[in-house]
Structure 1
């Protein structure tokens, strides 16, 4: 059995900043998550038309901003003018789409941990991963716990490995490609990942043992029910990503 490397990250991770309590992937959300005591945050990063990494989950701007069309087809100057908060509630109207650099600098200044999900515009998988690695390698202090890169796209993780091989990676999986998870585990190992980050329903005790046995950690998204969180803790998973920053204490 492979010995598990030390896991430097908190067990609890705030999804997109503060889950649903604030507009996702905005600085208001990350500040709110921190106000609940969270020390690690998950965000989604993609490239603008002019090569700036910014925070947004969807390919299209419509759901979370007052813009339209693919975010990656706009320059950062254009994206910065959008309202990314009014869709959530009036109290957040006027929130901007942050750059990944702005979030990283805030995390560094406050000694917080960051999980960057590389969420490329279709067709930009490898270049987005490479740019993410380059940015974090330049910004993140060498004596601090590095960020964790995750992605559903193997090519994005390959890109990040090329530009920042020292920054840990995790493979995101929503559904097993072979029904068992063995093929996905092989991909994670080929990519040099330190973790598998699965849809929480996919984990069972045997799979946790299998993944741990290969030297990888086990993380889950997006866990919002107490009973499911307890199940995941009982079977030995290492990390839980949640929207419910108001329900789960990050100290537990």
Structure 2
């Protein structure tokens, strides 16, 4: 596999500049020159993959209740901020392909829906991204979801996501045949970075919202960061300093 790995990913679509996990956010990220975006995918009550982070609707929409219990007819009528609605995964993929964006697709299963979510997203990703010039990067905190993605969509690159990197992270990466390691910037140790570099595995950190922090991470050897502050990195993204994953 071979695809560009930009240094900056727009977190949850448009970061803090647009309603999170919306098409407006993806459109804004592209307009500002970002080459990569990150968003979360969960299943609706009807089993449709949609972009949303929380298992409940209250924080990011004007709805109430569990996403996994909300039928499409009600879900897609909600306001996800500034008149935006909760988008289908298929709509987000179409927009990413239109703008040539690298998408970090985080499989975000609701409790009890790990396998169903992973199977649906993996199978749908195979068809939605077929023939795309830029393939997505699938990640998840759920190792079960990544195992399923590995088995059902082996051609799509995977990133192992941890809040805090465990001692056996390398064995997990190898078992899942992943190409990147993702982690919380607050829990990234120099020891892990040294081991990552020794094994030539890019590490991606979330959530980095100052230039000083980003510069420090790049100096330490971090390959890419997820940011909410798209406005701070417009100059850098327009220059498009990217890496390549190869294999």
TM over 0.5: yes
Give the corresponding residue for 2:12.
16
- Cα contact 2:180–2:201 (8 A) shared by 1: yes
Tell me if 1:195 matches 2:184.
no
Cα drift, residue 143 of structure 1: 5.3
Give the corresponding residue for 1:138.
127
Structure 1 runs of 4+ with >6 Å offset: none
Cα drift, residue 226 of structure 1: 1.8
> What SS does the corresponding residue of 1:182 show, helix, strand or coil?
coil
Give the corresponding residue for 2:146.
157
Change (3 A) 1:143 1:97: closer
CA distance in 2, matches of 1:114, 1:165: 17
Q: Which protein has greater RCO, CA pairs closer than 8 Å, 6+ apart?
A: 2
Larger deviation, residues 201-210 vs 146-155: 201-210
Give the corresponding residue for 1:89.
none
Aligned residues: 237
CA distance in 1, matches of 2:132, 2:41: 24
- Cα contact 2:55–2:66 (8 A) shared by 1: yes
- Cα contact 2:162–2:182 (8 A) shared by 1: yes
- Cα contact 1:128–1:159 (8 A) shared by 2: no
- Cα contact 2:26–2:96 (8 A) shared by 1: no
Give the corresponding residue for 1:37.
33
CA distance in 1, matches of 2:125, 2:117: 12
Cα drift, residue 81 of structure 1: 0.6
> What SS does the corresponding residue of 1:8 show, helix, strand or coil?
strand
Change (3 A) 1:213 1:7: farther
Tell me if 1:221 matches 2:206.
yes
> What SS does the corresponding residue of 2:151 show, helix, strand or coil?
helix
- Cα contact 1:194–1:215 (8 A) shared by 2: no
TM-score of the pair, normalised by structure 1: 0.89
Gaps in structure 1 of 5+ consecutive residues: 86-91
CA RMSD of aligned residues (A): 1.6
Larger deviation, residues 222-231 vs 184-193: 184-193
CA distance in 1, matches of 2:216, 2:118: 33
> What SS does the corresponding residue of 2:5 show, helix, strand or coil?
coil
Larger deviation, residues 221-230 vs 201-210: 201-210
Give the corresponding residue for 1:48.
44
- Cα contact 2:30–2:99 (8 A) shared by 1: no
Give CA-to-partner distance per residue, 1:45-98, whole Å, 9 cap, x none.
00112221000000000001111111111122221011111xxxxxx1x21100
- Larger helix percent: 2
CA distance in 2, matches of 1:203, 1:162: 29
CA distance in 2, matches of 1:143, 1:132: 17
Give the corresponding residue for 1:121.
110
